[in-house]
């Protein structure tokens, strides 16, 4: 009779010791910093690639000018089914996605236009895929001409 109780006690002691070690070790435990490890010295580079999937999932594209500009029409919008929708997506692929994927890009603080791509038309801000400030940092030195080209494409009626 004593042997089943002894086994049970030993099992409980072993389980208690194991639980103590498991519970005392945090889930995000890191190796000690004083140990040399080549993997710790490498800089982890996180990059996002903006590709054709972003445009393929877009159902609506909006170009908005900020309130400091004195323009009568500050909002341009195209949606799936509009005549110029594919042309606008091609323009974005050519003029916006490539600079976004560059290793170094400079966002201009004085940008007055923003481009919004929506994946769902009915979900409002929840359907927003990406917002890109359009200025010299993205469009280059000819950004005024390129913006005019985009506005012309987006103002084409159905």
For residue 14, the model assigns a pLDDT of: 55
Distance (Å, rounded) from C-alpha 63 to C-alpha 67?
13
What is the band of 3 on the pLDDT scale with cuts at 50, 70, 90? Answer: low
For residue 145, the model assigns a pLDDT of: 93
Distance (Å, rounded) from C-alpha 138 to C-alpha 135?
6
Give tens-digit pLDDT for 11-56: 555 555 444 444 444 444 455 555 555 454 455 455 677 778 888 8
Give tens-digit pLDDT for 32-44: 555 555 454 455 4
Domain range list for the chain: 2-34, 52-154
């Amino acid at each position: 009779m004593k042997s089943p109780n002894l086994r049970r006690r030993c099992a409980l002691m072993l389980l208690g010791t194991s639980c103590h070690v498991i519970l005392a070790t945090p889930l995000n435990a890191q190796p000690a910093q004083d140990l040399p490890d080549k993997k710790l010295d490498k800089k982890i580079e996180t990059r996002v690639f903006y590709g054709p999937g972003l445009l393929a999932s877009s159902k609506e594209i909006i170009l908005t000018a900020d309130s400091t500009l004195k323009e009568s029409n500050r909002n341009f919008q195209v949606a799936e089914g509009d005549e110029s929708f594919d042309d606008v997506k091609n323009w974005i692929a050519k003029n916006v996605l490539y600079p976004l994927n560059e290793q170094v890009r400079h966002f201009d603080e004085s940008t007055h236009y923003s481009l919004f791509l929506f994946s769902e038309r009915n979900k409002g801000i929840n359907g927003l895929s990406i917002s890109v400030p359009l200025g010299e940092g993205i469009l280059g030195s000819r950004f005024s001409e390129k913006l005019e080209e985009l506005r012309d494409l987006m103002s084409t009626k159905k």
